[in-house]
Structure 1
Amino acid sequence: MKPTLMLVGGARPLLAFSVDLTEAVLAQAAARGVRTLVTSTASDLAAMPSIVASADEAAAVGFTEPGETAEWARRRVAAGEHIVAVLAQLEMAQVAAAETAEAVGAPGNAPEVIRRIRTKDACRAALAAAGFAQPAVRLCASAADAAGFLRETAGPWIVKPRDAMGSTGVSQISSADDLPAALALLPDAGTFLVEEFVSGPEFSVEGIFQRGRPRILAVTAKETVPPPFFVETAHTLPADLPEPRRREIDETVSAALLALGLRSGAFHAEIWLTPTGVVLGEVHSRFGGDWIHKMLEYAIPGIELFGLIIDDLLGLPQTPGPLEPTRGAAVRYLTPPPGQVVTIEGWDEVLAHPAVLHAELSAGPGTDIPPLHRSGDRVGLIVVGARTSTLARELAEELASSVRFVTTSDEAMVKGSAGA
């Protein structure tokens, strides 16, 4: 019987980058003679037919309840299934994947390590205890808790959910007067975090583990909307950094990952560069979203991101030679002002551009464009590749600027001018 790679959670069907990542996992496993088994909810499996068709087997198994996937996999192994590797590319499936790997004796990160990094305040506490610079943070159950933290620390501050992603519910405040509006943005009425705001340019660090050691593939420069929200609008890879700063990032992030107990799979670590050094943000045991994987694949020609991980999990020979960017790539998100779309101009020209690696629109005539408060409010994106990261960033910005969203408010302004 072929060895089996179990992919927990599959993909997020409505996110093209998630489906693309998952298809890459399955293809690179198949190229190594590994059988693939995808587990996810029945509704998600039904919504991702390309994933089901690409896998050797798909099974409806939930991954949000503790131990649910692990127990199912344990029964499969007892019945003769040879599960040798367990992966997840979804954030919400990371704990289930770690529990499952432990249950079937496959290599992977310990479940308690994944729980720690997924609990934002616990991850901050662990990094601070290990000697890494961290903003002060407090887990709050009420506005009174948050107000107490504000009195004890210097602002501004960030209010955010304890367990969410995509900038959902994240906002900046400068006084206790801002708390009610910030709390109203949170996705639920449970506990939440308030932490000190860190000022400085933002980056993310992308990489994999090989033989238990982190191998950084690239540092990505990040652009966000101005406060009070922090929605990511662009990424450039590799970041244009002087060698001393790049070395500082590599050393700090590598040491932090090991201090947290991570030893396997992919990682995506968010950081700030401040005058006093690197400050770590959130740490993830997966590749970054926002098509960063596509940018890595272009910038490092021939790389197989998941193939490298599978080789490591199976103890196969490591890919020889350097794994560093030799080209540049960038993604720019389309974030037009709020309004109802009448028409979109310039999109066909974007699709025809030879440097475009991927482009997508989630808006069309009749779409109501909301204010930009979270990642889901973005309405399109353009990923490009170029000879250098600077050229890629400039091209992505140019192409994004060439797309015009005509809205009902624009038409009203034209009519008003014509009638004046």
Structure 2
Amino acid sequence: MAETRPRLLIVGLDRYTLDACVRLGVDAVVVCGASGWDDGLMNVPPELTVLRVDDQSSAEAVLMGLRRAGLGAGDFDAVHTSDEYSMVTAGMVARQLGVPGLDPETAVRFRDKSLQKAAVHGAGLPAARCVVIEDVYSVSGLPELPFAPAVLKPVAGAATALTTSVRSIGELRARSEEYRRNRTGQRTFVLEEHVVGDEWFVDGLVFEGELLFLAVGAYGDPCLTAIESGRALWLRHFDPCEESRVYEKARGLVGPALDALGLRDGAFHMELFHDGPSGTLTFGECAARRGGALVHEQVQAKFGVNIAECAVQIALGRRPEIDAKVSPDVFGGCYLPGRAGTLLGCPTPEELVALEQVRFARIEHPVGTHFAAGAVHTSQRIGQVMVVAASVEQLTGRFEEVRRWFDERLWVLPDGLTTRGRRDFQRDWRPDADFGDTLWR
């Protein structure tokens, strides 16, 4: 009798999760919302089944889509997602189907930053104090900041979007007015105590409550600092041999924090703040999925571990066999920022990978994409590159060289030009073409 292939319901598109299903022989139905489908950067392999819905983060939309497709409780062995905004939805759908998945109550703790801080504080672990602002459009109930400086952020946001520093009640009120004027969709925010220090991140895997693997890295600048300064975000991983003290310190906080949050199975991405002078480590945030940017690619290059594949195995109740092989090289990723205006052209991933020390490149936006002035979240970029180097100093130097090379070959039509200005731009963009209106003879 042929062995029955495992069946997985995946909520959201994730290239490495889908690839893992194909390689592991998992039959998967992939729930795809309208925004992911329209983006078109990630396609579902032909071996898997696509289930189109309006909004993959809506339990209603997902359950209606399953019903329309004639799918129900007996059609899946588990539910899995790596989409930040679909965590609670995936948990609710798993409970409805009666199959394994992230517990909805646990998912809520990983999405709501105030509940997250409360759980960590309750376990006696260091974390920033915070208060909830139920409606950021109205902050008149706060006569003064509860702590200053403070960080204002959505209670369930991601990618540092709508996250700002506020140093006085006047700045908070100004930000409130701005969000009200712009009709910001997210309105429940938290006001957090500002924590000083370098920003570390930890990506790892847990199975039945046991921490199987963790990779610790650091951002070149804390994410909020990078946004406010306009500098391109970059990140690299620490070496567990040469920088073993980092791993010892991180492990001492990561395990207890995961216990406090209730994550027993799956991948996680945790952010911590390390104060160099005092040596203290403070909990920042944690997501019940692997990190974004090029975290997956860096972990696979540095440690030889495919986090997405392990997460699929864990979702199916299997303990992954992890045989980490640490490379002595330094691996890091950096963003390739754009400029305000409309993208007309840029180097291809193939051209970027042909550059010395560049091991991977991704261009995330097609021609015609419009970029506003100034960065507003950490996902605002044209693409990303992963670089390998012999030292951190060499890594950061190469980042600068690659970004400069990319920017010199980047064509962006600036906003606000007159028609004459656009004609001048066109002559520079296409010096080989003559668009002039000459006299016919």
The aligned residue for residue 268 of structure 2 is: 267
The aligned residue for residue 320 of structure 2 is: 318
The aligned residue for residue 258 of structure 2 is: 257
Give the counterpart of 1:177 among 156, 170, 174.
170
1:272 to partner: Cα distance = 0.3
1:320 to partner: Cα distance = 4.9
The aligned residue for residue 209 of structure 2 is: 212
4+ runs deviating over 6 angstroms: 339-349, 363-366, 406-409
CA distance in 2, matches of 1:34, 1:228: 40
Which ranges of structure 1 fall in alignment gaps of 5 or more residues?
A: 12-21, 416-420
CA distance in 2, matches of 1:349, 1:56: 31
Residue identity matched to 1:145 = G
Residue identity matched to 2:161 = T
The aligned residue for residue 35 of structure 1 is: 27
| CA pair 230-8 structure 1, distance change in 2 beyond 3 A | farther
TM-score between both structures, scaled by the size of structure 1: 0.81
Q: Is the 8 A contact 1:236 1:330 kept in 2?
A: yes
1:347 to partner: Cα distance = 9.4
* More off after superposition, 36-45 vs 262-271: 36-45
1:230 to partner: Cα distance = 7.5
- Structure 2 residue 303 is the aligned partner of structure 1 residue 300: yes
Give the counterpart of 1:284 among 280, 287, 291.
287
| CA pair 360-310 structure 1, distance change in 2 beyond 3 A | closer
Count of aligned pairs between the two proteins: 395
TM-score between both structures, scaled by the size of structure 2: 0.77
- Structure 2 residue 132 is the aligned partner of structure 1 residue 136: no
Residue identity matched to 2:284 = G
Q: How does 1:346-357 map to 2 (within 5 A)?
A: 350-356=352-358, 357=360
| CA pair 95-230 structure 1, distance change in 2 beyond 3 A | farther
Q: Is the 8 A contact 1:137 1:193 kept in 2?
A: yes
The aligned residue for residue 334 of structure 1 is: 336
Give the number of the structure whose alpha-carbon radius of gyration is greater.
2
SS of the residue aligned with 2:282?
strand
| CA pair 158-145 structure 1, distance change in 2 beyond 3 A | farther
* More off after superposition, 57-66 vs 332-341: 332-341
Which ranges of structure 2 fall in alignment gaps of 5 or more residues?
A: 425-441
- Structure 2 residue 88 is the aligned partner of structure 1 residue 86: no
SS of the residue aligned with 2:268?
strand
- Structure 2 residue 159 is the aligned partner of structure 1 residue 163: no
SS of the residue aligned with 1:226?
helix
1:73 to partner: Cα distance = 5.7
Residue identity matched to 2:168 = S
Q: Is the 8 A contact 1:70 1:96 kept in 2?
A: no
1:43 to partner: Cα distance = 5.9
The aligned residue for residue 58 of structure 1 is: 50
The aligned residue for residue 18 of structure 1 is: none
Task: Render the CA deviation track for 1:274-329: whole Å, top value 9, x for unaligned.
Answer: 2252111111011111121111111123x332222233333445315346555432
1:383 to partner: Cα distance = 1.9
Give the counterpart of 1:203 among 200, 205, 209.
200
Q: Is the 8 A contact 2:77 2:316 kept in 1?
A: yes
Task: Render the CA deviation track for 1:324-358: whole Å, top value 9, x for unaligned.
Answer: 55543211123466577898799996442153211
* More off after superposition, 182-191 vs 91-100: 182-191
